[in-house]
Amino acid sequence: MEREDEVREIKKLNDELVTRIVTDKMTMVEEMNKMNDMIEKLQAENNMLKQQSSQRISDDTVDIDLSQLRASQGGESRFGGLGSTVPKRCLHFVKAHVVECNDICYDSGSSSSEFCATASSDSTVKVFDVSSGRLSKTLRGSGQPIMGVDMFGDFICGASVDKICRVWNMKTERCIHQLTGHGHKVTCCKFVGKGKNVLTGSADRSLKLWDINRSTFSIMKTMRHGSIVNCLSAFNNSGVSGHVDGGIRFYDLSSGERTAEMNNLHEGQITAVQFNPANPNQVLTNSRDNKLKISDMRMNETVAVLSHGSYKTAFNWSGASFSPDGRFVAAGGSTGELFVWNVDTQECEKLTGGHKNSLAGVAWGGNPNQQVATADRDGVCVLWA
């Protein structure tokens, strides 16, 4: 009896010791996480100060007055002699997929935008001729929903829920790379480096830069953050990501270093982000707070807020797009309407008649005869002119 009491006492002491050790370890982990967050924040602030300092130096010599540029070009966009105008009508109505479309894009390697591609939960990517609306290619390989798509010349990449980003050769319709390395679903992807690299974002809270210029791919850089990545954009060697926590982060893709961040930019999670193609110092964001914002990364502040009384963001991946000349912004609402804002006046035009359900994908190409492409929850793609 005494021996049993002694054993129980020893077990009790052992349990207390284990509990104390686990508690102390959790406390140490929390302190380490706080220290790491503080170090990352200080590094980001330091990088941002360096960037702002270099920008101030360069602004005096190389900053371009966009109004003077447009005047010198006679109001013409480099993407077409007529420049961008607000689309007025539905040119083609296409039943692209049997289930929802999640994303849509034009060829980022061409200014003529002859093709657009859609990504769907039916696990396919489809390519359409924008002049006729006819299906050109169907790309397969993922058995799960594809959330993001991008096109560069003859190559297409698709971000999938199965943790893989696939790269297809559009001419042969064959998958040439399966970019494996993320620990959770891949939410977004973009070609960078003239199509030689792919930038991906994931729910594993990381971005990865991939080299696809050889027969076997390799991971060049991994950039981490404490919030899930919903969307991304790239311009030359700069990358920007939009996150669930409502903030955006900027990266130098050549080094993998975070150069700046704008925390709490939106009250809801960010669903889309894009560099202004006419002024890459500006970034467009869409959010679940039902607002779009244009922010200047040099000044680290918002320069325009775009909203409308009937505009509601439908999905965590709802798209938005600048026009190629940066004069307009387009986004799709939860009721199937296409909203187009004038950046200078912030006036909004609402286009109806194309969709009957919530819009997910929105893209603005450089073809003056067919400018905007939208995709919705019913799997319908509309090409606007």
Per cent of the chain over pLDDT 90 is 75
- pTM given for the model: 0.80
Q: How many helices (H) and strands (E) does the chain have?
A: 2, 28
Within a domain: 68: no
Is the model's pLDDT at 76 over the cut of 60?
A: no
Shared domain for 34 and 101, answered yes or no, is no
- The rounded Cα 307 to chain-centroid distance in angstroms is 20
pLDDT digits (tens, 9 = 90+) for 177-210: 999 999 999 999 999 999 999 999 999 999 999 9
* Judgement on whether residues 86 and 51 belong to the same structural domain of the protein: no
Same domain flag for 167 and 239: yes
Contact 277, 326 (CB under 8 A): yes
Number of structural domains found in the chain: 2
Last residue of a domain, one of 11, 29, 58: 58
Cα–Cα distances in angstroms (integers) from residue 57 to residues 52, 53, 191, in the given order: 9, 7, 30
pLDDT at 77 over 80: no
Domain harbouring 299, CATH code: 2.130.10.10
Tell me: do 127 and 49 sit in the same domain. Answer: no
26/123 same-domain check: no
**Cα(32)–Cα(343) distance, integer angstroms:** 44
* 164 shares its domain with 257: yes
Same domain for 10 and 107, yes or no, is no
Residue 71 resides in a domain: no
Domain identity same for 1 and 146: no
* pLDDT given for residue 115 in this prediction: 95
pLDDT of 204 reads 98
* pLDDT level of residue 110 (50, 70, 90 thresholds): confident
Query: 64 lies in a domain?
Result: no
Same domain flag for 51 and 96: no
Same structural domain for residues 212 and 296? Answer: yes
DSSP string, 15-52: HHHHHHHHHHHHHHHHHHHHHHHHHHHHHHHHHHHHHH
Q: Quote the CA–CA distance of 187 and 181 in Å, as a whole number.
A: 13
148 and 273 in a common domain: yes
CB 320 within 8 A of CB 308: no
Is residue 226 assigned to a domain?
yes
* Residue at 161 is within a domain: yes
Amino acid in the structure at residue 22: V
What rounded mean pLDDT belongs to the chain?
Answer: 88
283 in Cβ contact with 276 (< 8 Å) = yes
Tokens encoding 60: 């005096």
Q: What is the pLDDT of residues 267-286, one digit of tens each?
A: 999 999 999 999 999 999 99
Per the structure, the complete domain to which residue 213 belongs is given by 79-384
The answer to whether residue 65 is domain-embedded is: no
82 pLDDT tier (thresholds 50, 70, 90): low
Q: Are residues 161 and 190 in the same domain?
A: yes
Q: Please tell me the distance from the alpha carbon of residue 8 to that of residue 248, in angstroms, as a whole number.
A: 55
- Residue 27 within any structural domain of the chain: yes
Give the N- to C-terminal CA distance of the chain in Å, as an integer.
90
pLDDT, position 81: 41
> pLDDT value at position 20?
72
d(CA 66, CA 62): 12
Q: Is the dihedral of CA 355, 154, 151, 280 positive or negative?
A: negative
Contacts (Cβ under 8 Å, ≥6 apart) of 115? 106, 107, 127, 128, 129, 130, 136, 151
Per-residue pLDDT tens for 326-345? 999 999 999 999 999 999 99
Compute CA distances 29 → 22, 33, 38, 43, 345, whole Å. 10, 6, 14, 21, 50
In a domain? residue 306: yes
In this prediction, residues 46-61 reach a mean pLDDT of 51
